[in-house]
C-alpha cells in the first residue's frame, strides 16, 4: 500500500475533509517543533509557535496552490513566526545564559552523518554539547537559520531558498560562515574536529 503524500491530504482538506488536516499535523509536528526550538532556544515559545504555524497553515490552506511542497510552505510560515518572535524578544530583553543552559541537549541531533569518529576523549560530551548550544544561539540570526535548517533539520538549500526567498548561493555562504564561527568559538586552537563531532559523542 502506497503511503498517502502531503499533496493528497492537502487536496482532501481543500475538498472539505477538514479532519484530514490532523494527518498533516501528525506528520510534521516533531520537525516543526525541533526547528523552532533551535531557532528560538525557548521550549515554551517553540511549542506556541509550532501551534500557531499549524493554525495559520490551516486557515490559509485554501490559498495553497502547490507551487512548492506543503512542507516547504509550512517551513516558511514557521520561520516567519520565529523571526517575529526573536525580534520581539530582542526588543524586550536578552535571553539569559541560564535559560539557554536549561535546554535539554539530549534532543540535539545532526542530520549529517560521517563514517569517521573522533571521541574527544578528554572532554565531557555533555559539556561540549552545552557549549555548542550556546555557540549556536550566539550566531547571527540568518547564519543560525540556515545552519539549523540544513545541517540539523536536513532541509535542502533549494527548499530553504523557496521558504526564505534567499538564493541558494547566499545560503551556502552563510552556512559555511556559520560552521566556521561555531568551530572558532568551540575550538580556538587548531583542530580537525567539526561541530558535528561534538554531538556524535553521545551515540
The grid coordinates of residue 147 equal: 545552519
Cβ within 8 Å of residue 16, ≥6 positions away: none
Q: Are residues 33 and 121 in the same domain?
A: no
Q: Are residues 123 and 162 in the same domain?
A: yes
**pLDDT given for residue 183 in this prediction:** 84
Measure the N-to-C terminal CA separation of the chain; round to a whole number of Å. Answer: 34
Q: Are residues 138 and 69 in the same domain?
A: no
> Which of 95, 123, 155 delimits the end of a domain?
95
Q: Are residues 74 and 139 in the same domain?
A: no
Say how many CA atoms lie within 13 Å of 2 toward its Cβ. Answer: 4
- Model confidence pLDDT, tens digit, residues 20-71: 999 999 999 999 999 999 888 889 999 999 999 999 999 999 888 888 889 9
Q: Are residues 86 and 6 in the same domain?
A: yes
Say how many CA atoms lie within 13 Å of 154 toward its Cβ. Answer: 6
Neighbour count for residue 122 (Cβ, 10 Å): 5
- Per the structure, the complete domain to which residue 133 belongs is given by 102-203
Q: Are residues 113 and 133 in the same domain?
A: yes
> Which of 75, 95, 115 delimits the end of a domain?
95
- Model confidence pLDDT, tens digit, residues 124-162: 566 777 788 888 888 898 999 998 888 888 888 998 998
Share of the chain above pLDDT 70, in %: 72
Q: Are residues 61 and 155 in the same domain?
A: no
Q: Are residues 87 and 62 in the same domain?
A: yes
Residue 8's SS3 state is helix
Return the CATH number at 46: 1.10.1740.10
CA distances from 10 to 13, 28, 45, 79 (A): 5, 13, 27, 21
With 0-12 / 13-18 / 19 or more C-beta atoms within 10 angstroms meaning exposed / middle / buried, residue 15 is exposed
> Which of 68, 95, 122 delimits the end of a domain?
95
Return the CATH number at 128: 1.10.10.10
Query: Cα–Cα distance between 126 and 103 in angstroms, integer?
Result: 12
Report field, pTM of the whole predicted structure over 0.75? no
Q: Are residues 53 and 118 in the same domain?
A: no
Q: How many domains does the chain have?
A: 2
Q: Are residues 112 and 61 in the same domain?
A: no
Amino acid at each position: 500500500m502506497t503511503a498517502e503524500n502531503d499533496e493528497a491530504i492537502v487536496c482532501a482538506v481543500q475538498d472539505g475533509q477538514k479532519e484530514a488536516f490532523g494527518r498533516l499535523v501528525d506528520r510534521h509536528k516533531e520537525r516543526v517543533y525541533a526547528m523552532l526550538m533551535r531557532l528560538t532556544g525557548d521550549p515554551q515559545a517553540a511549542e506556541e509557535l509550532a501551534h500557531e504555524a499549524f493554525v495559520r497553515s490551516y486557515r490559509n490552506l485554501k490559498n495553497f496552490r502547490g507551487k512548492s511542497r506543503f512542507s516547504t510552505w509550512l517551513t516558511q510560515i514557521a520561520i516567519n513566526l520565529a523571526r517575529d518572535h526573536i525580534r520581539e524578544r530582542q526588543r524586550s530583553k536578552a535571553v539569559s545564559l541560564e535559560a539557554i543552559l536549561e535546554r535539554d541537549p539530549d534532543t540535539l541531533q545532526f542530520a549529517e552523518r560521517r563514517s569517521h569518529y573522533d571521541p574527544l576523549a578528554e572532554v565531557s560530551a555533555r559539556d561540549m554539547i552545552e557549549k555548542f548550544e550556546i555557540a549556536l544561539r550566539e550566531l547571527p540570526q540568518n547564519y543560525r537559520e540556515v545552519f539549523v535548517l540544513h545541517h540539523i533539520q536536513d532541509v535542502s538549500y533549494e527548499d530553504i531558498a523557496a521558504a526564505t526567498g534567499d538564493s541558494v548561493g547566499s545560503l551556502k555562504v552563510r552556512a559555511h560562515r556559520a560552521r566556521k564561527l561555531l568551530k572558532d568559538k568551540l575550538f580556538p586552537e587548531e583542530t580537525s574536529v567539526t561541530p558535528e563531532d561534538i554531538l556524535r559523542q553521545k551515540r
